[in-house]
Structure 1
């Protein structure tokens, strides 16, 4: 291992969102780099942040807020890389009344995170992988990188109100993310980059 421990963070966007959202909307304007750095020691160097999410569909106000947030993230931190999955429309039907409706299921984000975790590990990009998620679907990827690169450490950073005993059992360490860290890791009310400016949505105040 290098003298400075290299860390790459893999953030499950929806798992983190719903953990924070359980406490309301006012802390959704989250500075991902500040949050991740608050979880690291002085001997660790943050190499990159991979942020996995999917574009909202059929809800224009929510789509606008999400895009505003993604733009602010990109403008504020050069370490954040946004990787988008998608929502797939599914038709549901009530067995009793036979009425039907459409729902949207998030696709590809979990798989994309898992592939990135293994690919980066095999390519020697990190000494420690920090998985910000409490989703047991990450377990196969953790097992794979442990087989392929036994020397690397994998740490689970669990979003507020989220737990996964299966994932915790596989990882070398677990860090619970409390709301105090979330409150302390907010983006500026207005993020400016060049001629562009992005302000926290009023819906998130």
Structure 2
């Protein structure tokens, strides 16, 4: 079967971040090889992983995070991961109790990009099976649409670590498999990667 994977980058990142908060020795989990991670969920004798799509956005106002994320994105590209980036939009907030005002940032486009690419690749018949990494119930409508329109295609949701319980709405819709901590541990990128004449090095804080 031809397999494509569609990864909600922020959903996976925050799940991994929660794993590492109380144990800094696990920070390297954020340097996960998404291509080999997806290969862990296919059957090599039956399946071929044709594409891995990673959907995220750069937090441009956070210089340290931005540098690390760009480094990670370049590392993923070196391992044949297709990176599709959205963006953050400034959002003004106000406290109704004290009238305090502040500015925050809201991530835009990643979820929409994931849905668009999933639907487009289903329509173009580019996969027989889709692996979707998320625990976001907002994905349910597009999953149901694909199941109805392309009943011969298989959809499998891989829930990030410790997100299985909160994904109950997705679990009632489609086959769901847990990404466990050991899957992350077993699929880490090399500390140093040579790609297209340049060297990519894992951030020291990871």
TM-score range, shorter chain: over 0.9
| 1:1-205 map, 5 Å | 5-24=1-20, 25-42=27-44, 43-75=46-78, 77-78=79-80, 80-163=81-164, 164-171=167-174, 173-204=175-206
1:192, CA displacement in angstroms?
0.8
1:19, CA displacement in angstroms?
0.8
Q: 2-side partners of 1:154 and 1:62: how far apart? A: 33
Number of residue pairs aligned between Structure 1 and Structure 2: 197
1:23, CA displacement in angstroms?
1.2
SS in 2 for 1:15: helix
Q: 1-side partners of 2:172 and 2:2: how far apart? A: 23
Q: 1-side partners of 2:86 and 2:5: how far apart? A: 18
SS in 2 for 1:146: helix
1:62, CA displacement in angstroms?
0.5
Q: 2-side partners of 1:195 and 1:49: how far apart? A: 23
SS in 1 for 2:151: coil
Q: 1-side partners of 2:51 and 2:28: how far apart? A: 26
1:175, CA displacement in angstroms?
1.1
1:194, CA displacement in angstroms?
3.2
For residues 94-139 of structure 1, the C-alpha deviation after alignment (integer angstroms, 9 at most, x for no partner) is 2233221111111111111111111101111011110011111111
RMSD: 1.0
- Stretches of structure 2 that go unaligned for 5 or more consecutive residues are 21-26
Q: 1-side partners of 2:143 and 2:177: how far apart? A: 16
Q: 2-side partners of 1:107 and 1:156: how far apart? A: 22
Q: 2-side partners of 1:189 and 1:147: how far apart? A: 43
- Stretches of structure 1 that go unaligned for 5 or more consecutive residues are none
